[in-house]
A and B are shown apart, each in its own frame.
Chain A
Amino acid sequence: MIKIGIPVFPGSNCDKDINYVFSNIYKVKTDLIWHTKDKISDYSAIIIPGGFSYGDRLRGGIIAAHSPIIKEIKRLAKEGTPILGICNGFQILVESQLLPGSLISNDSLKFVCKWIDIQVVQNDTLFTKSFKKKQIIRIPLAHAEGRYVVPDSEFREMKKNKQIVFTYYHDNPNGSLEGIAGVINRSGNVMGMMPHPERTCQNEMAVLGLKTTAMKIFESMINYLKK
């Protein structure tokens, strides 16, 4: 049976949103796990939610990256468990060095909340199997520190290893290098992304003619886990 673990840090904000989407929409078992837990098991996948862990003090994600639960997440990552970090979750993954690069202040120096288009660069990951290559996805984002940067040499490596999963399409909202919106580790089981797929779940939006395929990220993941 699929069971998703959702680590919760002091200051996590999107934990309840992720929990709602998986338990109410996909009817998947979920656990909210407080960050002090230093032994976790039986999870088919981990989703690190967005928010402001530790109030973004010092830098988004850096304090949470030293929480007891991160050691366990690192172990699971090594064992091949799918791990997805969204927004602050992405920052935490980067700060834990489970993903390459850094996320720094947006080039506008402002928080930005809006819907944008991203493009699927890699559709052969467990998170993006349900997309076509180069597919454009409409998706909301909301962050102040989402500008992805990585040294040139590492960037070339990442490109070679097909680690860039999503890029911003036309409008780069934060000044990320090459418009990078989401990256994956070399073994293909840990992905981080700045935009929020969970925020596209309200079915009432269809009433207003807003349609998006962003939720396929979760669907791809669930399909993978079912196999």
Chain B
Amino acid sequence: MNVLTQSELNYLTNKLGRKPNNLEKEIIGAEWSEHCSYKSSKNLIKLLPTAGDRIIVGPGYDAGVVDVGDGYVVTIHLESHNHPSAVEPYGGAATGVGGVIRDIISMGTIPIAILNALRFGHINYPNNKYGKLEKIKQKKISHARWLLKNVVKGIADYGNCIGIPTIGGEVEFDVSFENYCLVDVASIGFGKKSELIENTAKEGDLIILVGGLTGRDGIHGASFASKKLQNDQDRSAVQIPDPFLEKLIIEATREAIENNLVKALKDLGGGGLSCCLSEASSNLGLGFDITLENVPTKYLDMQPYEIMISESQERMLFITSREKYNRLLDIFKKYELNSAIIGEVKKHNNLVIFKNKRRIAGMPSSLIAHSPLLTRKTIKPPYLENLKKRRYEFSLPENLDYVLLELISNPNIASKKWIYEQYDHEIGLRTILKPGITDSAVLKLNRQKFLAANLDGNSKICYLDPFQGVLSCLSEAKRNIVCSGAEPIGIVDHLQFGNPENPQIFWTFKKSVEGIIVFSRENNIPVVGGKVSLYNETTKGPIKPSPVIGMIGLIEDKKYITKSIPGESQSLFIIGNTTQEMGGSEYFEYIHNFTGSKVPEVDLKKDTLNSHVVLKAIRMGLISCAHDCSKGGLAITLAEMAIGSEIPIHIDLDQIPNNCNRWDYLLFSETPSRFIIGTKEPQKLERYLSKEKNLTYSKIGITKKSNGDDKLTLKSKNKKIIEISIGKLRQKYEILNDLMDKNC
């Protein structure tokens, strides 16, 4: 398979001064694939703000490195395995975990957590009396459930086996992911600054390949991920997971680093040996002479090109000095790991491949590692204006209790317990705030330091307005971090779009990048890592733009750690105004089956102010719980708080600052920048809030003592607008258990 374009081939021939041979074309083809080279996106993503006081290593390496003080660092990286998971969900998702974990180890840190962001087609019939969705075929529903079930099992089996907790994430269901899925996995590492791998080498150092045997699994994986998915025929491009082997590699690498036996380290992922060797030698500014017959393979008859581009999993590249080799080998033997010296570091700057002493390929490493970049055309898609102008005319539903119950059983909003209970989220003794009671997971780092982390995405809003959409995701991610009591210190982004050769799609990509730049600058939170995944298309067309935003935050005193669910007898306040911008809301999409209208706009000044005030109030000890208001709007936020705490909540809707002209819009609008906070000291809190200029806030209700018949009550002038028992809400909220276990 030759994946190079004619102009790339010409460029290569010109640089080499000769025609490349077939093996060289394969090596270049893997490394210059969109997946490995970022050739379409690099000109844009290099504009992201990446500098900051805490940033030791920004995007570009295996993982971003952030200084958290006292000699410690946090590393973070995220990757997707969309194409492989769509054809082989179990193996695709599992190997996604494996890859991102090895990126964390490569930096010299210990992986301490996994997060996941998943996207599928609909897993139920969204069907209610206000807006019937066109009938989705049972086959499609079954397929989406099959994908979800196996993706979750793949992540669970892998993460659980290697003993790293999966602490959080998010899931979205949308018709544009039908017959497809997006599987994003992020990993967080922790370690001593002094133990970060320096990645230096000198002539004569040994290049060692450790772990899995190189086989025919994952051949052309990077190229496969860089084009549209055709059908199931590409299954051989999916790798096979072996978490037990990964666990042994994690432990052995750790032991090798502690004994100072590693000079450079790199994991093998997309593009296999081709990418790993060319990038490693290019980064070192040195050359490698590789003895290909030394690579341990699964089969005797593997061709050189297969060995060079195989993406067999659980492999790591170590570079060490000759003096230290024997001690390193002892560690590999202890863990019964396969290893082989596959080459030597040389002064020349080339990647040279030998087989049986015959030179079969040789090119400058930096030429391989740096593909020529492309400037893709952009055109604003005309459908955007039409969607924005689409008028909506629904009458106010008579029964808002019914609407709330329907909305809370919408899989996009419903409890994800069915998923996170399959993940060991507590191993390692670091998980302080775990799924279900918090907006962000909170991990213990060391004695007094804690890290908050989460992932957020919203393809419905990003589809209608990619710029505002990504701002919404960023704002939500930040609110989630703030709600747990943490100060945001870094952004990671995962930009998932369709075919970049289509100028309309590439315009939406560009707008998303611009959104991240604006937000990052305004909030002074640098981008510490990221990933781009393009060509996410099915036979029906491109996916909706799906940037996923990850954020990390730091808590430097345990008393700041804050839950999202209230205790008894607290006063509840809202921070922020509620506006009637309903485009992309779950209320429109799920209840009324309506896509269009204006999406909520993020007012960056207000967004920053609101977060700042909430974080300050938490740190002054004025707040006992904080929950961000996002998908499903205010009513869902309050319902989640009621379900989580199992205590009655009473809200006076007349106290909510808004410019909505109807109850349904007020209750279900997804205006960003809003928080619901709870306090035991309402006067003190109010005194503080009133001092903040330009802040929109209001005391909106109370929590009561549990009396056995607990309800969520939303009133206006003594008229009940919504009143539902918490038991009933919970039953609807946990619908995923029924959907996935009973009918799958």
Q: Is B601 an interface residue (CB 8 A)?
A: no
A112 and B421 contact, CB distance less than 8 A: yes
Within 8 A of A (CB), among B400-429: 420-429
Comparing A72-80, A117-125, A128-136, A195-203, the segment that makes contact with chain B is A195-203
Are A201 and B429 CB-contacts (below 8 A) given A55-B161, A114-B421?
Answer: yes
B161 and A52 contact, CB distance less than 8 A: yes
| Distance of A68 from chain B, by nearest CB (Å) | 14
A204 and B422 contact, CB distance less than 8 A: no
Q: Is B561 an interface residue (CB 8 A)?
A: yes
| Distance of A117 from chain B, by nearest CB (Å) | 16
Q: Is A56 an interface residue (CB 8 A)?
A: yes
A207 and B558 contact, CB distance less than 8 A: yes
Q: Is A81 an interface residue (CB 8 A)?
A: no
Q: Is A54 an interface residue (CB 8 A)?
A: yes
Within 8 A of B (CB), among A1-45: 10-11, 13-14, 16-17, 20-21, 34
Q: Is B99 an interface residue (CB 8 A)?
A: no
Q: Is B285 an interface residue (CB 8 A)?
A: no
Residues of chain A within 8 A (CB-CB) of B428 are 16-17
Within 8 A of A (CB), among B209-259: 242-245, 247-248
A54 and B244 contact, CB distance less than 8 A: yes
Residues of chain A within 8 A (CB-CB) of B424 are 111, 113, 142
Q: Which residue of A lies closest to B741 (CB)?
A: A108
Classify the secondary structure of B's interface with A.
mixed
Name the one of B161, B243, B432, B567 contacting A209, with C-beta atoms under 8 angstroms: B567
Q: Is B444 an interface residue (CB 8 A)?
A: yes
Name the one of B334, B426, B429 contacting A113, with C-beta atoms under 8 angstroms: B426
Are A204 and B558 CB-contacts (below 8 A) given A111-B424, A113-B424?
Answer: yes
Q: Which residue of B lies closest to A140 (CB)?
A: B426
Q: Is A150 an interface residue (CB 8 A)?
A: no
Residues of chain A within 8 A (CB-CB) of B425 are 113
Give CA–CA (A108, B417) in the complex, Å: 14
Q: Is B316 an interface residue (CB 8 A)?
A: no
Name the one of B248, B422, B433 contacting A208, with C-beta atoms under 8 angstroms: B433
Residues of chain A within 8 A (CB-CB) of B153 are 110
A113 and B244 contact, CB distance less than 8 A: no
Q: Is B42 an interface residue (CB 8 A)?
A: no
Q: Is A51 an interface residue (CB 8 A)?
A: yes
Are A57 and B244 CB-contacts (below 8 A) given A111-B160, A114-B421?
Answer: yes
B561 and A208 contact, CB distance less than 8 A: yes
Most buried by B among A13, A17, A144, A209: A13
Most buried by B among A57, A113, A196: A113
B243 and A55 contact, CB distance less than 8 A: yes
Within 8 A of B (CB), among A202-218: 202, 204-205, 207-209
Classify the secondary structure of A's interface with B.
mixed
Within 8 A of B (CB), among A134-148: 140, 142, 144
Tally of A interface residues using CB under 8 Å: 34
Are A111 and B334 CB-contacts (below 8 A) given A11-B244, A54-B244, A55-B244?
Answer: no
Q: Is B335 an interface residue (CB 8 A)?
A: yes
Name the one of A13, A52, A144, A205 contacting B432, with C-beta atoms under 8 angstroms: A205
Residues of chain B within 8 A (CB-CB) of A51 are 163
Residues of chain B within 8 A (CB-CB) of A201 are 429
A13 and B243 contact, CB distance less than 8 A: no
Are A10 and B561 CB-contacts (below 8 A) given A111-B160, A112-B422?
Answer: no
Give CA–CA (A115, B463) in the complex, Å: 39
| Distance of A67 from chain B, by nearest CB (Å) | 12
A52 and B426 contact, CB distance less than 8 A: no
How many A-B contacts are there with CB distance less than 8 Å?
Answer: 88
Name the one of B157, B336, B558, B559 contacting A10, with C-beta atoms under 8 angstroms: B336
Residues of chain A within 8 A (CB-CB) of B433 are 208
Are A142 and B426 CB-contacts (below 8 A) given A204-B444, A205-B432?
Answer: yes
| Distance of A184 from chain B, by nearest CB (Å) | 25
Residues of chain B within 8 A (CB-CB) of A54 are 244
| Distance of B440 from chain A, by nearest CB (Å) | 14
Name the one of B422, B423, B559 contacting A207, with C-beta atoms under 8 angstroms: B559
Residues of chain B within 8 A (CB-CB) of A16 are 428
Q: Is B12 an interface residue (CB 8 A)?
A: no
A202 and B422 contact, CB distance less than 8 A: no
Q: Is B141 an interface residue (CB 8 A)?
A: no
Residues of chain B within 8 A (CB-CB) of A208 are 432-433, 437, 561, 563
Give CA–CA (A57, B245) in the complex, Å: 12
A13 and B336 contact, CB distance less than 8 A: no
A14 and B561 contact, CB distance less than 8 A: no
Give CA–CA (A142, B567) in the complex, Å: 28
Q: Is B342 an interface residue (CB 8 A)?
A: no
Residues of chain B within 8 A (CB-CB) of A52 are 160-163, 243-244, 247
Residues of chain A within 8 A (CB-CB) of B559 are 207
Residues of chain A within 8 A (CB-CB) of B335 are 10
Residues of chain B within 8 A (CB-CB) of A112 are 421-422
Give CA–CA (A23, B450) in the complex, Å: 22
| Distance of B122 from chain A, by nearest CB (Å) | 22
Residues of chain B within 8 A (CB-CB) of A196 are 426
| Distance of A58 from chain B, by nearest CB (Å) | 12
B429 and A202 contact, CB distance less than 8 A: yes
Within 8 A of B (CB), among A174-211: 196, 198-199, 201-202, 204-205, 207-209
A202 and B244 contact, CB distance less than 8 A: no
| Distance of B505 from chain A, by nearest CB (Å) | 38
Are A202 and B247 CB-contacts (below 8 A) given A113-B423, A113-B425?
Answer: no
Q: Is B156 an interface residue (CB 8 A)?
A: yes
| Distance of B689 from chain A, by nearest CB (Å) | 24
Interface string of A47-85 (1 = CB under 8 A from B): 000011011110000000000000000000000000000
Q: Which residue of B lies closest to A10 (CB)?
A: B248
Q: Which residue of B lies closest to A16 (CB)?
A: B428
Residues of chain B within 8 A (CB-CB) of A204 are 432, 444, 450, 558, 561
Within 8 A of A (CB), among B539-575: 558-559, 561, 563, 567
| Distance of B210 from chain A, by nearest CB (Å) | 15
Q: Which residue of B lies closest to A108 (CB)?
A: B741
A113 and B421 contact, CB distance less than 8 A: yes
Residues of chain B within 8 A (CB-CB) of A205 are 432
Give CA–CA (A112, B336) in the complex, Å: 30
Give CA–CA (A114, B415) in the complex, Å: 14
Residues of chain A within 8 A (CB-CB) of B444 are 202, 204
| Distance of B3 from chain A, by nearest CB (Å) | 35
Residues of chain B within 8 A (CB-CB) of A202 are 429, 432, 444
Residues of chain B within 8 A (CB-CB) of A10 are 244, 247-248, 335-336
Q: Which residue of A lies closest to B450 (CB)?
A: A204
| Distance of A204 from chain B, by nearest CB (Å) | 5
Give CA–CA (A114, B418) in the complex, Å: 11
Residues of chain B within 8 A (CB-CB) of A198 are 429
Q: Would you mind naming 6 contact pairs between A and B with Cβ atoms under 8 Å apart?
A: A17-B429, A34-B334, A55-B243, A113-B425, A198-B429, A208-B433
Given contact pairs A13-B247, A113-B425, enumerate 18 new A-B contacts (beta carbons under 8 Å).
A10-B336, A11-B248, A14-B427, A52-B161, A52-B163, A52-B243, A110-B422, A111-B157, A111-B423, A112-B422, A113-B420, A113-B422, A113-B426, A144-B160, A198-B429, A199-B429, A204-B561, A208-B563
Interface residues of chain A, those whose CB is within 8 Å of chain B, are: 10-11, 13-14, 16-17, 20-21, 34, 51-52, 54-57, 108, 110-114, 140, 142, 144, 196, 198-199, 201-202, 204-205, 207-209
Name the 9 nearest CB pairs between A and B, nearest first: A55-B244, A13-B163, A142-B424, A52-B161, A113-B424, A204-B432, A111-B422, A204-B558, A17-B429
